[in-house]
Amino acid sequence: MPITVQVTRGLLTPEGERLVVSRIAHALLESHGLAENAFMRANVIGHLVVAEEGAAYVGGRAESLAVVEIKVPSVTFQDRAVQQRFVEEATRIIDDLKAGDHPKARTFVNVAYAVDGTWGIAGKAYSNGELGAAIEASFRG
């Protein structure tokens, strides 16, 4: 599941820049009860994009901005409590790792869904059912 964290330069501490993607990945897995699942751990990937100051806008003005975007299969985040828990945790992670005075109101979390059957890993297009089977097999194996 690809994670993209986009922040303005200086929003996160240097250590925060090193840790933010792995912490959000862990929060994603933890919120779904999959932190110990080898198949899922290997397939939650991500990167950090740092924009120059003045390149991010809120309300038409250059401001610090943090955007966490995750692309997932359509079967993910079906439970409202899981949605809320993940958004809160991702926002808290940004807040914990920030370098200065960045308000939570300028941290956004977004989830985009893939069409069932188009989730590709290593050249295989997985359906939701096939992903579920791979996850279950990893618990047993």
Q: Is the pLDDT of residue 111 over 90?
A: yes
Confidence of residue 113 (pLDDT cuts 50, 70, 90): very high
The predicted model gives 108-118 an average pLDDT of: 93
- Residue 130 placed within a domain: no
SS3 content of the chain, % helix, strand, coil (to 5): 40, 30, 30
The pLDDT mean for the chain works out to: 93
- The enclosing H or E element of 107 equals strand 107-114
Contact 75, 128 (CB under 8 A): yes
Q: Is the pLDDT of residue 141 over 80?
A: no
User: Which residue range(s) make up the domain with 80?
Assistant: 2-114
Q: For the domain that residue 38 is a member of, what is the CATH number?
A: 3.30.429.10
Domain count, the chain: 1
Q: Could you read off the pLDDT of 17-51 as tens digits, one per residue?
A: 999 999 999 999 999 999 998 989 999 999 999 99
- Residue 57 placed within a domain: yes
- Residue 38 placed within a domain: yes
The predicted model gives 51-79 an average pLDDT of: 92
- Residue 23 placed within a domain: yes
- Residue 127 placed within a domain: no
pLDDT score, position 135: 87
Q: Is the pLDDT of residue 71 over 90?
A: yes
- Residue 140 placed within a domain: no
- Residue 35 placed within a domain: yes
